[in-house]
Chains A and B, each alone.
Chain A
Amino acid sequence: MDPIIILQAGVATGTVLLFATIGEILTERSGVLNLGVEGMMLIGAMSAFSTAVSTGNPWLGLLVAMLAAGLLSQVHAFISIHLQADQVVSGLALTFLGTGISLVLGEGLSKAGTISLLPRFSIPLLSQTPLLGPIFFTEQSVMVYLGYLLTPLVWYYINRTRPGLHLRAVGEHPAAADSLGISVYRLRYFYVFIGGVFAGLAGGTISLAISPGWFS
């Protein structure tokens, strides 16, 4: 097999992990460990495919995936932030819950029909670059390019902006953040939700762009 094609596919598949990781970084920076990423991704993949099949619009599917996974993440947020239960066990519970729910709701979905995928295209000039062009910029899904954009943006957000500073403060020294008037609970809920949204985006990317379909 042509190594270029393998690397090209690697970039596409890696995008899924990239989104999930970005979300988890934001969650963990706020001081919450969420081991339920897998469950949220599956919920995202299932709801993205299901929405795309019934509406015919993959973008809507992506949106629903992000919302569904974000909603599921709030279970973990409530248990670990308000009830102060152990984050490791709660996160694992979320994995089981997400896997189970997506299997139950996704039953029979694999035969439900076909979907139109998210668009793929090449970037005009960059795709001409020797070696890197065919791997990174030729006929990749729009989600891959979104990944390229989001990564530096999130870095900038965390390290160079005021809300990013709040995020790091809440994670590294919650008591100090609290005495400066930052609501620790509210920010943690928010970033667990954002982590879920990114996991949903990752799941949606699987079922709408990388390996289309839903297999239970």
Chain B
Amino acid sequence: MSQNSSQPSNAVMASPRRFPYRIQFEPRLQEPPRWFPALVALGAVVVALILGGVILAVVGGDPWRSYAHIARASFGNVGVLSDTLVKATPILLTSLACAIAFRMKLWNIGAEGQFIMGAFGASAVVLTPLLPPETSRWIMLPVMGLTGILAGAIWGLIPGFLKARFNVNEVISSLMMNYIAVSWVNFFIFAVWTEGGFQMSRLFPRTAWLPRLADYAKEFPVLRGLTTHLGLVIGIVAAAVLWFILYRSRWGYEIRLIGDNPRAARYTGINIQRNVMMVMLVSGALAGLGGMSEVAGVVHRLQTSPIAAGYGFTGIIVAWLAKLNPFVIILASILFGALLLAGREIQPSGIPKMIQGIILVALIASDFLLRYRVRIIRIEEEA
């Protein structure tokens, strides 16, 4: 052990001389047990909540009351739980979009724009109108889903193509595409599809609404007022499909190999350029599907303010929190849906955003514990 500690690369941080203990970090040589990453992530969230509480207390808030308020406003009864699930649905789909790209270490920061374009694509069916309003719901909704997926996929493919063909940094290009998407939709709701000069389109006909639990209140009175819509089911199915693709299919293996070791992937003959485009396409398609679900399930009209609410960015945190595992993403997006929902009522309004930021910082920092083990060594023992 004393030999090992003489190497400066291992001793990342040395404590002051007088202190009888010394903290030392060593690279992990074998994989930690399976439960360990989950424990670390949970610990990071707890530490983040404590840190957030400290900041709240410093600025004069009451952390206990804030947290209790968040819990009550998002899980307190069936009604708000249903609202939480509504908020979780777009996050679920955007974070799945981020997860598949991040698994390949392809930093798609543009889920927000792809989400907005998905909403635009779905709305175009109703507003152009490609289909008359009296079309049956069974035709209308699948067509909206397809156009949403298509619009999102195109928006994802543009940075993907630039990356594959010209090696353009996808962080910057996909981020910039977000702003183009917002302005694009703004142009349409200001000028083309505006309703009476307001910055929104007209309300969609009922046939273009995703079915909600409340629609069945006649048969099951329990469901009255519950806003959870079919998008949640779509999201959960998408999560299962994505899990299957990533962990049980050949293509998923290629994606994971490129992410873990691009050079090895190239030498085994995997076409990286093609995979970059394919993954960005699917990533954009998932985010676009999220946009369709939001516009057809919640907003029911094209309008930027409730649609471009940063779901794409929250999706990045959620994907990271879930360690890119699609099933964990379902749980994590419900947690963040709760934070967003509570954020509407809680004052100051920045609290949920701050807590999100602290959680993400703590999570990234905690990854360190997965790669290194911490040893506390008595200095006398060494001498």
If A83-B365, A83-B368 touch, whether A93 touches B357 (CB-CB below 8 Å) is yes
Interface centre among B55, B361, B365 (most CB of A within 10 A): B361
Which residue from A39, A79, A95 sits with its C-beta under 8 Å from B364?
A: A79
Contacts of A14 in B (CB 8 A): none
Residue B15 lies at the interface, judged by CB distance under 8 Å to chain A: no
Residue A94 lies at the interface, judged by CB distance under 8 Å to chain B: yes
Total number of A residues with any Cβ neighbor in B under 8 Å: 32
Measured between C-beta atoms, what is the minimum distance from B342 to chain A in Å?
14
Which residue from B109, B316, B351, B368 sits with its C-beta under 8 Å from A104?
A: B351
B59 A105 Cβ-Cβ under 8 A: yes
Interface residues of A, dominant DSSP:
helix
CA distance A102 to B353 in the complex (A): 10
B350 A100 Cβ-Cβ under 8 A: yes
Measured between C-beta atoms, what is the minimum distance from A209 to chain B in Å?
24
Contact with B along A174-188 (1 / 0, CB 8 A): 000000000000000
B350 A102 Cβ-Cβ under 8 A: yes
CA distance A191 to B364 in the complex (A): 21
A90 B350 Cβ-Cβ under 8 A: no
Closest B residue by C-beta to A93:
B360
Which residue from B59, B316, B354 sits with its C-beta under 8 Å from A89?
A: B316
Closest B residue by C-beta to A92:
B316
Measured between C-beta atoms, what is the minimum distance from B151 to chain A in Å?
24
Closest A residue by C-beta to B351:
A104
CA distance A25 to B306 in the complex (A): 35
Which residue from A85, A89, A101 sits with its C-beta under 8 Å from B55?
A: A101
Contact with B along A82-124 (1 / 0, CB 8 A): 1111101110111111111111111110000000000000000
Contact with A along B315-334 (1 / 0, CB 8 A): 01100100000000000000
B355 A100 Cβ-Cβ under 8 A: yes
Contacts of A94 in B (CB 8 A): 357, 361
Contacts of A9 in B (CB 8 A): none
Contacts of A99 in B (CB 8 A): 350, 353-354, 357
Total number of B residues with any Cβ neighbor in A under 8 Å: 31
Contact with B along A69-82 (1 / 0, CB 8 A): 00000010011001
Closest A residue by C-beta to B56:
A104
Residue B12 lies at the interface, judged by CB distance under 8 Å to chain A: yes
If A83-B367, A88-B107 touch, whether A100 touches B354 (CB-CB below 8 Å) is yes
A103 B350 Cβ-Cβ under 8 A: yes
Contact with A along B6-38 (1 / 0, CB 8 A): 000000110000000000000000000000000
CA distance A109 to B378 in the complex (A): 50
Closest B residue by C-beta to A91:
B171
Residue A129 lies at the interface, judged by CB distance under 8 Å to chain B: no
Residue A11 lies at the interface, judged by CB distance under 8 Å to chain B: no
Residue A63 lies at the interface, judged by CB distance under 8 Å to chain B: no
B350 A96 Cβ-Cβ under 8 A: no
CA distance A89 to B317 in the complex (A): 8
Residue A216 lies at the interface, judged by CB distance under 8 Å to chain B: yes
B360 A96 Cβ-Cβ under 8 A: yes
If A104-B55, A104-B59, A105-B59 touch, whether A96 touches B353 (CB-CB below 8 Å) is yes
Contacts of B132 in A (CB 8 A): none
Residue A158 lies at the interface, judged by CB distance under 8 Å to chain B: no
CA distance A75 to B362 in the complex (A): 10
B348 A104 Cβ-Cβ under 8 A: yes
B364 A101 Cβ-Cβ under 8 A: no
CA distance A99 to B56 in the complex (A): 15
Q: A96-B353, A104-B348, A216-B348 are in contact. List 9 more A-B contacts (CB 8 A).
A: A78-B365, A83-B367, A90-B361, A96-B313, A101-B357, A104-B55, A104-B350, A104-B351, A107-B350
Binding site for B on A (CB under 8 A): 33, 35, 39, 75, 78-79, 82-86, 88-90, 92-108, 216
Query: Shortest 5 CB-CB distances between A and B: which pairs?
Result: A103-B350, A100-B354, A97-B357, A96-B357, A107-B348
